[in-house]
Amino acid sequence: MEQRKISRAVISRLPRYYRYLGDLLEAGVERISSSDLSKKMHVTASQIRQDLNNFGGFGQQGYGYNVKYLYTEIGKILGLDRSHNFIIIGAGNLGQALANYASFERSGFILKSLFDVNPRLEGVTIRGIPVRMVDELKDFLKNNDIEIAALTLPKSKAIEVADILVDNGVKGIWNFAHTDLSLPKDVVVENVHLSDTLMKLSYNLCQQDKE
Ligand code: NAI
């Protein structure tokens, strides 16, 4: 099937579909209508149909969506049908919290190592995954097939470390350091700012107060 160019808005909604479908699959649900999925996800049935029609439409009239098929296809679109090795740079509070979250592995994101400059962290392991010193980073990247790096180090250090990562083959940066990175076009950067969602929450609370 020829795949149409999918809009960024649709792509940004796919992880949520994937999550809901994964839950349905786990609960043993084989098929679901767009209206039932719409009730579950609190989006309109027409939005669901529009979104999923981007992929040629997995729904069949009167049958609904085959949960497993849809889950698998969305997984493929999101690149979750293969595994991705990743590392974490900065093994402080946030880096360790991410490393402790085992569920990334279930989606195929395999944490291979953490890196830090603090000698007190040398030899520490998190869920069996070692923290290495940053001076080992280049060699590690040469000898391991690492696709993604999470940056959870001080923002003043993020740019220089990102350059080392990219020069040594890392193709995706999951950037938690609050600084903009300007990297070659073939490197994908996803910036995360948890506080943005907190501010959105605060905004919505304020709106409620006004009602
Ligand atoms: P932290 O101070 O607990 O951890 C930072 C770690 O980075 C330390 O272990 C430190 O030794 C290490 N480090 C320093 N220079 C390094 C280098 N050149 N290479 C490798 N590691 C190095 O700080 P925390 O709370 O874990 O935050 C880490 C970063 O993430 C900060 O930049 C913070 O602003 C950011 N952050 C971002 C959030 C977001 O939503 N985007 C949320 C929370 C923190």
Model confidence pLDDT, tens digit, residues 142-199: 999 999 999 999 999 999 999 999 999 999 999 999 999 999 999 999 999 999 999 9
pLDDT score recorded for residue 29: 96
**CB distance 130 to ligand 1 below 6 Å:** no
Express each pLDDT in 94-152 by its tens digit. Answer: 999 999 998 899 899 999 999 999 999 999 999 999 999 999 999 999 999 999 999 99
**Best residue among 87, 94, 175, 195 to mutate for probing ligand 1, ranked by most atoms within 8 Å of CB:** 94
Gap between the Cα atoms of 184 and 125, Å rounded: 33
At 7-60, the pLDDT tens digits run 888 999 999 999 999 999 999 999 998 889 999 999 998 998 888 877 655 656
Main-chain dihedrals φ then ψ at residue 128, nearest 5 degrees: 85, 0
**pLDDT, tens digit (0-9, with 9 covering 90-100), for 81-94:** 999 999 999 999 99
**Could you tell me which residues come within 8 angstroms of residue 142 by beta carbon, excluding any fewer than 6 positions away?**
168
Q: What pLDDT, on the 0 to 100 scale, is given for residue 208?
A: 82
CA distance 80 to 106: 10
**Fold for domain 84-195?**
Rossmann fold (3.40.50)
* pLDDT of amino acid 27: 97
Q: Kindly state if the Cβ of 154 falls inside 6 Å of ligand 1.
A: yes
pLDDT band at 1 (very low <50, low <70, confident <90, very high): very low
Enter the CATH code of domain 8-77.
1.10.10.10
| pLDDT (0 to 100) of residue 83 | 97
Q: Are 94 and 176 in contact (CB under 8 A)?
A: yes
Residue 61's pLDDT band (boundaries 50, 70, 90)?
low
N-to-C CA span, the chain: 49
Domain parsing of the chain, residue ranges: 8-77, 84-195
Does residue 3 have a pLDDT over 80? no
Q: What are phi and psi of 118, to 5 degrees?
A: -80, 115
Of 115, 108, 107, 106, give the one whose Cα is nearest residue 87: 115
CB 173 within 8 A of CB 162: yes
Å from CA of 19 to ligand 1 middle: 28
> Whole-model pTM?
0.91
pLDDT of residue 133: 98
The rounded Å distance from CA 94 to ligand 1 centre is 7
